[in-house]
Amino acid sequence: MPLTTGREIGAQPAAPAPTGNISRGLEWLWQYLRDIPHPRILDCGPIRQATVSILMHRGVKLYVADLLTPLRKGDPQLWDRSPKTQTFRLGAFLDQVPPIPPASLTAIFCWQVPDLVPRAALPEFMARMLSYLELGGILFCFLREPYQPKGADAIWWLESLTTLASRCEDDRPFPYPPITNREMERLSPGGSVKTFLTRSGLREVLVLK
């Protein structure tokens, strides 16, 4: 069925068998949410049918806002390029998020969005994302390691609740310096930050509000 930003996605067929890589971060997330029958989740990436089917099978109420693609593609509408300055239009960027009441989401799948948002806009972006989470909610994202200079075009999808598949269209460099664990803690005031290392040069980061 077509996916419409701002609407909950309806029931889907049973999830396919997984073939991707196990995610320790997602293992932790779903264990933490094991007693919540219908989590409310915002997915900030280009959604795939496999992801929808798996989350619907789990009973998730899903919202979709593809924030990753305009950052990967360098959407010119997100920039104010006047003769003397170049400013990221964070308001226009966040307008892509559907109407979500504050403190109403169980989790947000942010994928690699924090690594691609301009550093000057990152504090306000993180504050907005965390404002959507209920107390005890979780923001899940990836952060690159300093030794991984390329891979800004990668996208991810679920092959099971705890298994991730990925694809990289190009070997494009990351546009900004890597975010350290200490910086992520500063961007998540009052939250608890958990980090899981992977073999792919990424950190799986979970911010527990």
Q: Report pLDDT digits (tens) over 97-120.
A: 999 999 999 999 999 999 999 999
Question: How do residues 149-158 score in pLDDT, each as one tens digit?
Answer: 999 999 999 9
- Measure the CA angle with vertex 65, ends 168 and 193; round to 5°: 75
Grouping H, G, I as helix, E, B as strand and the rest as coil, residue 21 is: strand
Question: 125 Cβ partners below 8 Å, 6+ apart?
Answer: 90, 93, 94, 113, 114, 117
Q: What is the pLDDT of residues 18-44, one digit of tens each?
A: 457 999 999 999 999 999 999 999 999
Cβ-defined contacts of 167-174 (< 8 Å, 24+): 172/72, 173/149, 174/115, 174/116, 174/144, 174/148, 174/149, 174/150
Residue 82: exposure state from Cβ atoms within 10 A (0-12, 13-18, ≥19): exposed
What pLDDT score does 19 carry?
A: 53
**Token digits for 47?**
């959604």
The number of residues making up the chain comes to: 209
* pLDDT exceeds cutoff 80 at 13: no
Q: Which domains does the chain have, with CATH numbers?
A: 21-208 (3.40.50.150)
Contacts of residue 53, Cβ cutoff 8 Å, sequence gap at least 6: 12, 13, 14, 15, 16
pLDDT (0 to 100) of residue 129? 98
pLDDT digits (tens, 9 = 90+) for 165-185: 999 877 899 999 999 999 999
Please state, as a whole number, how many other Cβ atoms lie within 10 Å of the Cβ of residue 143. 19
Task: Collect all residues with Cβ–Cβ distance below 8 Å to 42 and sequence separation of at least 6.
Answer: 62, 63, 64, 65, 97, 100, 105, 107, 108, 109, 132
Structural contact between residues 53 and 14, judged by C-beta atoms closer than 8 angstroms: yes
- pLDDT score of 17 more than 70: no
Beta partners for residue 141, in sequence order:
111, 205
User: For the whole model, what pTM was predicted?
Assistant: 0.89
